[in-house]
Amino acid sequence: MAAATAAAFAEPKTKYDRQLRIWGDQGQAALEKASICLLTCGPTGTEAMKNLVLGGVGSVTVVDGSKVEQSDMGNNFLLDAECLGQSRAKSVCSFLQELNDAVNAKFVEESPLALIDTNPSFFSQFTVVIATQLPERSLLKLDDICRKANIVLVAARSYGLTGLVRISVKEHNVIESKPDHFLDDLRLHNPWVELKQFAKSIDINDKDPVVHKHTPYIVILVRLAEKWADAHDGRLPSTRQEKNEFKALIREHMLNLDEENYKEAVESSYKVSVTPGISDEIRQIIDDSSAEVNSSSSDFWVLVAALKEFIANEGNGELPLEGTIPDMTSLTEYYVSLQKIYQAKAESDCLALEHHVKDILKRIDRDPDSISRAYIKTFCKNARKLRVCRYRSMEEEFSSPVLSEVQKYFTDEDYCFAMNFYVLLRAVDRLAANYNRFPGIFESEIDEDVPRLKTAAVSVMSEMGMNGAPLSEDLITEMCRFGGAEIHPVAAFIGGVASQEVIKLVTKQFVPLLGTFIFNGIDHKSQVLAL
Amino acid sequence: MSSPDEDPPTEPERWRDLDMLLSRPGNLVHADFNPSPGLRDSLGSLVEVLVVGAGGLGCELLKDLALSGFKNIHVIDMDTIDVSNLNRQFLFRVQDVGKSKAEVAAKRVMERVSGVNIVPHFCRIEDKEIEFYSQFSIIVLGLDSIEARSYINSVACGFLEYDSDDKPIPETLKPMVDGGTEGFKGHARVIIPGTTPCFECNIWLFPPQVKFPLCTLAETPRTAAHCIEYAHLIKWNEALKRAELFGISGVTYSFTQGVVKNIIPAIASTNAIVSAACALEALKLISGCSKTVSNYLTLETLNMVLFEVHYFSLTICRYNGLDGTHINVSEFAREKDCLVCGPGTLIELGTSTTLSEFIKMLEEHPKLLMSRASVTHEGDNLYMQAPEVLEQMTRPNLGVPMFELLKGAARTTVHVTGMAENNGKKVSSLRKLRVTFKGVEESSKMDESS
């Protein structure tokens, strides 16, 4: 019995092993708490849901008012011949449930358009709403509903060989942005007392070859930077020539040419010349008006306010130390000691920040213990990598796009293509609203639809203030050829991107798309338009 | 049998969406694109696709290809289903654990997509005869190992023949679409042997696996990975003790698995995106043709069209889901002297050189350094190292002069498989060789046509 329970308990860990390696237990816990709603059960939407259900989101609700038709058999893997004539929502829901029994799968057999019009409060129960294949008019309405209720909206659309994904939420804050490459936080330009003392305790001129070639480069650089500064009025190498001279100084201390630690020191020598203080991105965040907190501020902004105080006080213009060091050639003993010195400084920085957090919470009449220590620790560890993502409402984007960006896009070949798709995707909706069908659905009317679509596209452009921007005749014809088709591989691609974004938004890890993602399946390229 | 062109298309309602793309002319299509209502049916009946790998990418690929109009699909995978596959390999359920991936995946897709036929092969890719691979119009790769990619690449490039001007002969082209993922990142690329860079031309794109120097592991471990690798090398039960001894933290079970098995993080969404990109490219490559492909005999000419297709062909498309920018398309150049996709290493033999002397030459040839070589010529096994039955059957050939075995051809292509160096490791490799004979005139070639 006990063994059976253990196996049942262990299974999710094993099942999710490959993804836990990316977003960790906390990311997984966030996914398992999330409740996702899908509007329209075409292949774009169902493929997105399939990926999320496999990953183990808490619950999914699929909304669709139509019945399964023959055409679903040609592009939707989640529907098979047995579902013909039945509710699309119900059939999709039962397949999703089969994929992962840990997920709570529900369905609502109702037209998404009707639901948006008649029951806006329906959406407030979800973490994220994924709206697929919705016409512009309904999407605008839904965007308004979701923004008011602070629900994340992800809009996805596949259309022939093109498609788009767009996120809409007032603000999304990321602590664990997990960039691919980021400079190690070593403070070699400004070592603190304990680090300096440790570096001094090691004789870098020790003639014992084993000790000499196992002195970690952090120690070498701290010592030699000090030596350099003594000879240069307290300055560190900054010009190209000085940096080369500094490298030469390091090489002078080598006993042998094959000393890996010295090679590492030369390669890392630029780390003593980093600009002190904080980056422009972080400066922008701490100077944001949201950092002036009040009782309704989010935990994130309370922490930013505390960060600002830390920088002005204990930090001496620097952020809290990250506290980890990269692997480097070293005696185990030296390396472990260094690790501890960095950890200790990081912990004391974190403690200082925690004091500011408590003070601020008291000031704004909140429980001083309402933000957990673990959260503060993660925040400190990632203080250099914070990201604030703000999205304009679709209404704002549609009526007044950032014209400077638009003009820039039209001067670049690939972006110009993407802009054309963007305009045409909106124009087909205009046409569909007038004629009750997408252009090019009927072969016999393609020739008439081409000029109609062009007229609609021109009017979309002029409303956006883009008079006279180049429209590609070839793309207009191509859009009519597509006839609103949802091709499976394109739908799987767009749905895949949408699910990827949902994961980033729900786990609050990594940086989500900051604009409208346009897929160009003709050349297999994609652009992100910040409009 | 009448050509598919004259028959009304099958199931037009079901394939309404796909047919919009395949049956209508357009301005931004390939020059040879010949749209027709019957194109989907021709594609379904005439094209055979091979999917290599039935894992995270393979499952997606089978679904994507089946819903892109392909009807004859083969899938090959030696693996069985593991619990840790279930977070992304959506064709598998808990009760399938332990079964063949290829067999279960093929069955599931056939159950759901009517009309598609998928033949599973539950074996290693090296276990198949080279000729097995020649039946496919296109090979789609969903693999996670460099060695396996390298092998399939060498097989596909091995079919490529060059004419006397060193131009690739279109009928011998076997295009590949290769996908790969790691975490939020992935790539998709189209390889048209002889035209675009093959896998081997830019193998440097794949960084070598991290290996720790032995002295670090033994003398100066610093990280959890060092302790685990040490234990893996020396003695497992010492791992934790060792970490404690040196005051190193972080030796956990999950981390240990990651280090020892070199586990690559994988998620459903990235696999879905990369597979969809590969399937779309496969569809675009193949559907460039239509009417001209009206019977089985002209199947080879399918490849002729592929040869000229411009979409995507010289590019690698890298998908990065970590940050704002998503797809980067980079262009790479072919390696002119590539051992794999080039015209083949030239070997000159005397008319009396025997097969066993030839095999010995391969071991010493500086560019090849191939040991335990098996030799085939135009699908005939000249000498096979294994299995035993074949070895016995072909052993008498060892003493026969190559000139005789190659039917008196002055210049011909021979395929050899054996162990050769690749990225510093001895791995199973296939090489294409151009064999010529000293003092034999080109005109004495006996069967020009084959």
The pLDDT assigned to A239 comes to: 93
B163-202 pLDDT, tens digit each: 877 788 888 889 899 888 888 878 888 888 887 788 887 7
**Which positions ≥6 away from B305 have C-beta within 8 Å?**
B30, B32, B288, B289, B292
Name the minimum distance, in Å, from the CA of A257 to any CA of chain B.
18
Q: Which of residues 71-110 of B touch A (CB under 8 A)?
A: 83-84, 86-88, 90, 93
Chain B partners within 8 Å of A499 (Cβ): 268-269, 272
Residue B210 confidence class, pLDDT cut points 50, 70, 90: low
The pLDDT assigned to A185 comes to: 94
Compute φ and ψ for B421, nearest 5 degrees. Answer: -70, 135
A458-494 pLDDT, tens digit each: 999 998 888 888 899 999 999 999 999 999 999 999 9
Question: Which residues in A142-153 are b (16+ Cβ under 10 Å) and which e?
Answer: bbbbbbeeebbb
Name the residue of chain A whose CA is nearest to B225's CA. Answer: A327
Least CB–CB distance from A485: residue in B17, B114, B269? B17
Cβ <8 Å between B258 and A503: no
Report ipTM (2 d.p.): 0.93
- Ranking A490-504, B14-28, B423-437 by mean pLDDT, the lowest is B423-437
Residue A214 contacts residue B220 (beta carbons within 8 Å): yes
Name the residue of chain B whose CA is nearest to A337's CA. Answer: B247
Chain B partners within 8 Å of A47 (Cβ): 272
Name the minimum distance, in Å, from the CA of B438 to any CA of chain A.
49
Name the minimum distance, in Å, from the CA of A339 to any CA of chain B.
10
Contact with chain B for residue A487, Cβ under 8 A: yes
The pLDDT assigned to B117 comes to: 98
Question: Could you give the percent of chain B with pLDDT greater than 70?
Answer: 78
Q: Which of residues 109-128 of B touch A (CB under 8 A)?
A: 111-114
Contact with chain A for residue B267, Cβ under 8 A: yes
Residue B266 confidence class, pLDDT cut points 50, 70, 90: confident
Sign of CA dihedral A17, A21, A23, A27: positive
Residue B294 CA to residue B47 CA, distance in Å, equals 11
Cβ <8 Å between B329 and A487: no
A438-467 pLDDT, tens digit each: 999 998 899 999 999 999 999 999 988 888
Name the minimum distance, in Å, from the CA of A95 to any CA of chain B.
11
Determine the distance from the C-alpha atom of residue A355 to the mean position of all C-alpha atoms in its chain, rounded to a whole number: 30
Q: What is the mean pLDDT of residues B336-359?
A: 85
Q: What is the mean pLDDT of residues B327-348?
A: 72
The pLDDT assigned to A465 comes to: 85
Q: Which residue has the higher pLDDT, B161 or A144?
A: A144
Residue B424 confidence class, pLDDT cut points 50, 70, 90: low
Cβ <8 Å between B263 and A21: yes
* A238: its two tokens: 């900054």
Count of beta carbons in the 10 Å neighbourhood of residue A508: 18
Residue B131 contacts residue B155 (beta carbons within 8 Å): no
Residue B318 confidence class, pLDDT cut points 50, 70, 90: low
Chain A partners within 8 Å of B20 (Cβ): 160, 440, 481-483, 485
- Domains of chain A (ranges, CATH numbers): 2-177+488-529 (3.40.50.720), 193-273 (no CATH), 280-330+339-388 (no CATH), 400-482 (no CATH)
Determine the distance from the C-alpha atom of residue B233 to the mean position of all C-alpha atoms in its chain, rounded to a whole number: 32
The pLDDT assigned to B446 comes to: 44
Substitution target in B30, B187, B222, B319 with the highest count of A β-carbons within 10 Å is: B222
Cβ <8 Å between B222 and A335: yes
Least CB–CB distance from A17: residue in B18, B84, B183? B84
B105-116 pLDDT, tens digit each: 999 999 999 999
Chain A partners within 8 Å of B25 (Cβ): 481
Q: Which of residues 508-527 of A touch B (CB under 8 A)?
A: 510-511, 513-515, 517, 521-526
Substitution target in B11, B57, B67 with the highest count of A β-carbons within 10 Å is: B67
Element (H, E) at A360: helix A332-363
Residue B293 confidence class, pLDDT cut points 50, 70, 90: very low
Residue B204 confidence class, pLDDT cut points 50, 70, 90: low
Substitution target in A28, A54, A70, A329 with the highest count of B β-carbons within 10 Å is: A54
Least CB–CB distance from B87: residue in A19, A493, A513? A19
The pLDDT assigned to B366 comes to: 84
Residue A452 CA to residue B280 CA, distance in Å, equals 29
Q: Which residue has the higher pLDDT, A195 or B296?
A: A195
Q: Which residue has the higher pLDDT, A226 or B428?
A: A226
- Domains of chain B (ranges, CATH numbers): 16-206+265-331 (3.40.50.720), 214-260 (1.10.10.520), 345-444 (3.10.290.20)
pTM value? 0.87
Substitution target in A342, A474, A488, A505 with the highest count of B β-carbons within 10 Å is: A488
Contact with chain A for residue B183, Cβ under 8 A: yes
- Ranking B118-132, B206-220, B249-263 by mean pLDDT, the lowest is B206-220
* B370: its two tokens: 């191939």
Cβ <8 Å between A18 and B14: no
Catalytic residue status for B201: no
* A192: its two tokens: 């603190």
Cβ <8 Å between B223 and A22: no
Name the residue of chain B whose CA is nearest to A76's CA. Answer: B67
Contact with chain B for residue A185, Cβ under 8 A: no
Residue B308 confidence class, pLDDT cut points 50, 70, 90: very low
* B276: its two tokens: 């969809």
Q: Which residue has the higher pLDDT, B312 or A434?
A: A434
The pLDDT assigned to A56 comes to: 95
Residue A287 CA to residue A285 CA, distance in Å, equals 5
- Ranking A170-184, A501-515, B35-49, B380-394 by mean pLDDT, the lowest is B380-394
Substitution target in B57, B59, B87, B274 with the highest count of A β-carbons within 10 Å is: B87
Three-state DSSP class for B102?
Answer: helix
Four-CA torsion A502, A503, A504, A509, nearest 10 degrees = 150
Cα–Cα nearest to B80, from B114, B46, B104, B112 = B104
| Helix/strand/coil (H/E/C) assignment for every residue in A299-311 | HHHHHHHHHHHHH
Chain A partners within 8 Å of B257 (Cβ): 17
The pLDDT assigned to B254 comes to: 67
- Ranking A220-224, A312-316, B120-124, B301-305 by mean pLDDT, the lowest is B301-305
Count of beta carbons in the 10 Å neighbourhood of residue A531: 20
Name the residue of chain B whose CA is nearest to A99's CA. Answer: B90
Q: Which residue has the higher pLDDT, B342 or B402?
A: B402
The pLDDT assigned to B182 comes to: 80
Residue B318 CA to residue B331 CA, distance in Å, equals 11
Q: In the beta sheet, which residues pair with residue B177?
A: B140, B190
Chain A partners within 8 Å of B251 (Cβ): none
All residue ranges of chain A with pLDDT < 50 are 1-10
Residue B326 confidence class, pLDDT cut points 50, 70, 90: low
Residue B234 confidence class, pLDDT cut points 50, 70, 90: low
Cβ <8 Å between B263 and A214: no
Most confident listed range (A335-344, A411-420, B367-376, B383-392): A335-344
Residue A453 CA to residue A435 CA, distance in Å, equals 11
Q: Which residue has the higher pLDDT, A474 or B389?
A: A474
The pLDDT assigned to A142 comes to: 98
Which residue among B215, B289, B338, B341 is the active-site one? B215
